[in-house]
Structure 1
Amino acid sequence: MSVRAKKHLGQHFLKDENIASKIAESLSFEGYQHVLEIGPGMGVLTKYLLKKDTKTWVVEIDTESIDYLKTHYLHLSDRIINADFLKMDLSAQFKDQPIAIIGNFPYNISSQIVFKTIENREQIPEFSGMFQKEVAMRIAAGPGSKTYGILSVLTQAFYDVSYLFTVPPSVFNPPPKVDSGVIRLSRKKDFQLPVDVAFFFRVVKTAFNQRRKTLRNSLKSFQISDKLKEDVIFAQRPEQLSVEQFIELTKSLEKDGIRDH
């Protein structure tokens, strides 16, 4: 018995044991008792997680995969969650205990998985997973790079990002059309921002919505005072700013009385 990969779920099953083991080993397994794997499929990664001292849970939307896992991983059966990770209430499921997130993520929701992780950062100290290489590189990109953008800044505001290794299409069934990349996120020790977080998100998103323009133009809708506009930072384009500079920019806008425009 095997599970048929379903295109609408973005499934590409990893079949390389060595890579599955490497992904499992990319977590530290320190500071938390629970690991949640997203989209385990036929459990190629799951089996390596189950060897660890932590308690492994899996969340899977595909009922065929769930049946397979229940048959082949009997001791996991009470920790198989039939749900859409993007709709899960993690604090209710894990009673506010810290959890690590891991998986070979469906490409079509991989960015949304990162955004949900950021939203639940208080509960998620560590995260490791496989993405389309282009998305993985975007998350890990630094200022000045063409791929540096909203996803890079918002992730790196709270997590240290490491691009670990590239994975070729040939190790999947069916093979995707592109390379994949594995990244790890480790939550920063000081991950509380000294600014209003919702406003910080809005500043970053508004700036990158017109990434070719200088901040003076891309942030026009914030109605910045003429005095603040004289700051040299407004002559720069968003991809030139580090995460720290975005935080300082948000602070300046808050001091200027801008919040609710």
Structure 2
Amino acid sequence: MQYTLKKSLGQHFLKDDNISRNIVSALTKHPFNNLFEIGPGGGALTKFLVQLNNINFKAIEFDTEKVEYLLHTYPSLKGKLIHEDFLKASLPFEDEFTVIGNFPYNISSQILFKILEWKEHVPLVIGMFQKEVAQRIASKPNTKVYGILSVLIQAFYNVDYLFDVPPSAFNPPPKVMSGVIELTLKKEPLNASNKENFFLLVKTAFNQRRKKMRNAARNLFNEDILQAGIFDKRAEQLSIEEFAALTFKMK
């Protein structure tokens, strides 16, 4: 049984088993009971994941043709493969679960924001992204790529960049390098007034990242608060802790 590639879904399928083994090797260094694969596609990772012992495994795939292919190729997936759009999906397990995937590049940021909504349930994520996105997620303050994604993910997860993946590892080869990263949930909660204010402040500040915080986030603070020296900085110069501390001074 064959399947076709759909450019509309941003499909580039991993064909290098060594890369798959390296991803699974990174995964199995951690203890977990429930495993959730996002976008198994042609099954490059799935064929190794279904072999893991004593694991509750589920996968979610939007493309009908890939669902049929996977069920035909890996009969053990029956009852474990959710045919749905991940961005509209509900929690796959009641208990904690680990997330893994070669994420579709065109929605990879949205996938991460959805995982953030589920973070109390997701202690570990191992995923492949376009390298540029992976670097952005892992980046630190005072760099050009440090932005909304960097701050919001790192506020709740420790990020480790594991390794590069070349275009030749895929069919068809993408025009960009890829990278695998690991996200581990932080044990210490974020010290912010609340998550909503934190998200609002970070997004507002970076939406006008070239402006000083005093101008970019003016609407969120009273005038007397805006006189503080920290507002002379631009968003990319603030640490996660500084953003969090500012939430207590918002209107």
Aligned counterparts of 2:184 and 2:28: Cα–Cα separation in 1: 9
Matched, 1:131 2:129: yes
After superposition, give the CA deviation of every residue in 1:90-131 in whole Å (9 maximum; x if it has no partner).
Answer: 1xx312x11111111111110000000111101111001111
Gaps of 5+ in 1: none
State the TM-score, normalized to the length of structure 2: 0.95
Aligned counterparts of 1:27 and 1:123: Cα–Cα separation in 2: 17
SS of equivalent to 1:78: coil
Quote how far apart the aligned CAs of 1:225 are: 2.8
Partner of 2:218: 220
| Pairs aligned (count) | 250
Q: State which of 212, 217, 238 in structure 2 corresponds to 1:241.
A: 238
Matched, 1:51 2:51: yes
**Conserved 8 A contact 1:13-1:172:** yes
**Conserved 8 A contact 1:60-1:81:** yes
Quote how far apart the aligned CAs of 1:2 are: 2.4
Gaps of 5+ in 2: none
Matched, 1:252 2:245: no
Quote how far apart the aligned CAs of 1:231 are: 1.7
Partner of 2:153: 155
After superposition, give the CA deviation of every residue in 1:29-50 in whole Å (9 maximum; x if it has no partner).
Answer: 6453211111111211012212
State the TM-score, normalized to the length of structure 1: 0.92
Alignment of 1:1-150 (within 5 A): 1-28=1-28, 30=30, 32-53=32-53, 54-90=55-91, 93-95=92-94, 97-150=95-148
SS of equivalent to 2:150: helix
Aligned counterparts of 2:190 and 2:241: Cα–Cα separation in 1: 13
SS of equivalent to 1:116: helix
Aligned counterparts of 2:121 and 2:43: Cα–Cα separation in 1: 24
**Conserved 8 A contact 1:69-1:77:** no
Q: State which of 182, 186, 189 in structure 2 corresponds to 1:188.
A: 186
**Conserved 8 A contact 2:192-2:247:** no
Moved more, 22-31 or 142-151: 22-31
SS of equivalent to 2:52: coil
Structure 1: 4+ residue segments shifted above 4 A = 28-31
Paired amino acid for 2:114:
K
Paired amino acid for 1:244:
E
Quote how far apart the aligned CAs of 1:250 are: 1.3
Paired amino acid for 2:26:
S
Quote how far apart the aligned CAs of 1:223 are: 4.1
Quote how far apart the aligned CAs of 1:67 are: 1.1
Quote how far apart the aligned CAs of 1:251 are: 2.0
Quote how far apart the aligned CAs of 1:26 are: 1.9
SS of equivalent to 2:4: coil
**Conserved 8 A contact 2:140-2:150:** yes
SS of equivalent to 2:119: coil
Aligned counterparts of 2:172 and 2:214: Cα–Cα separation in 1: 47
**Conserved 8 A contact 2:190-2:244:** no
After superposition, give the CA deviation of every residue in 1:163-219 in whole Å (9 maximum; x if it has no partner).
Answer: 111111111111111111111100001235442100110000000011011111111
Quote how far apart the aligned CAs of 1:78 are: 1.4
Aligned counterparts of 1:187 and 1:31: Cα–Cα separation in 2: 14
SS of equivalent to 1:198: helix
* Alpha-carbon distance change, 69 to 60 in structure 1, aligned in 2, over 3 angstroms: same
Paired amino acid for 2:23:
I
**Conserved 8 A contact 2:100-2:127:** yes
